[in-house]
Amino acid sequence: MKFEPEYIEKLAKIITDSGLTEISLEDGEQALTIRKDVPEVVMSAAPAAVSAPAVPVVSAPAAPASAKEEAPKGKAITAPMVGTFYAASSPDAEPFVEVGSTVNAGDVVCIIEAMKLMNEIKSEQSGKIVQICVKNGDPIEYGQVLMYVE
């Protein structure tokens, strides 16, 4: 079977009309991938030189010098998977941890929902939560920093 131009146009329209950004099909020895270019928002203190195609640039106000030089303290707790971050076991429950909370190694600090499974994320070290980098309900990527323990 050959991918006909009309069929490819229909797939492109599906991508345009829906929230999809990519469709991939494979038929025997043929493969077809259609991607929609999604402009990325670039945060920078100074406007960046952009070549065609243009990418929107959102300028952030300059932070004080001390804030720029200050790196996060402590050990990062990172996401072991892609999913959705939850700070508590249910919407009406208290969060597992907040900034300033003391945790022991093995304590649950959050939940990541992946494919309808709730995965408890545990601290690998004892200490105090000094920064939480994501909000309840945020989509997260593999390796993304969730919080720092000092």
Tell me: the pLDDT tens digits for 92-149? Answer: 999 999 999 999 999 999 999 988 899 999 999 999 999 999 999 999 999 999 999 9
Contacts of 45 by beta carbon, 8 Å cutoff, 6+ apart: 59, 60, 62, 63
Within the chain, which residue ranges are assigned CATH 2.40.50.100? 72-149
Handedness of CA 100, 131, 145, 92 (dihedral sign): positive
Q: Are 109 and 103 in contact (CB under 8 A)?
A: yes
Q: Are 108 and 122 in contact (CB under 8 A)?
A: yes
How many residues make up the chain in this entry?
Answer: 150
Q: In this structure, which topology does domain 72-149 adopt according to CATH?
A: OB fold (Dihydrolipoamide Acetyltransferase, E2P) (2.40.50)
37 band by pLDDT with thresholds 50, 70 and 90? low
What does the buried/exposed string (b/e) look like for 140-149 if buried means 16 or more CB atoms within 10 Å of the residue's CB?
Answer: beeeeebbbb
Give the whole-angstrom CA distance, residue 73 versus residue 17: 44
Contacts of 36 by beta carbon, 8 Å cutoff, 6+ apart: 15, 16, 20, 21, 22
Structure-token match 């009406």, residue found: 92
Summarize pLDDT for 49-90 with one digit per residue, the tens.
444 444 444 444 544 544 444 566 789 999 999 999 999 998
48 band by pLDDT with thresholds 50, 70 and 90? very low
pTM recorded for the entire structure? 0.53
Q: If DSSP codes are grouped into helix, strand and coil, which group holds residue 76?
A: strand
Q: Are 59 and 65 in contact (CB under 8 A)?
A: no
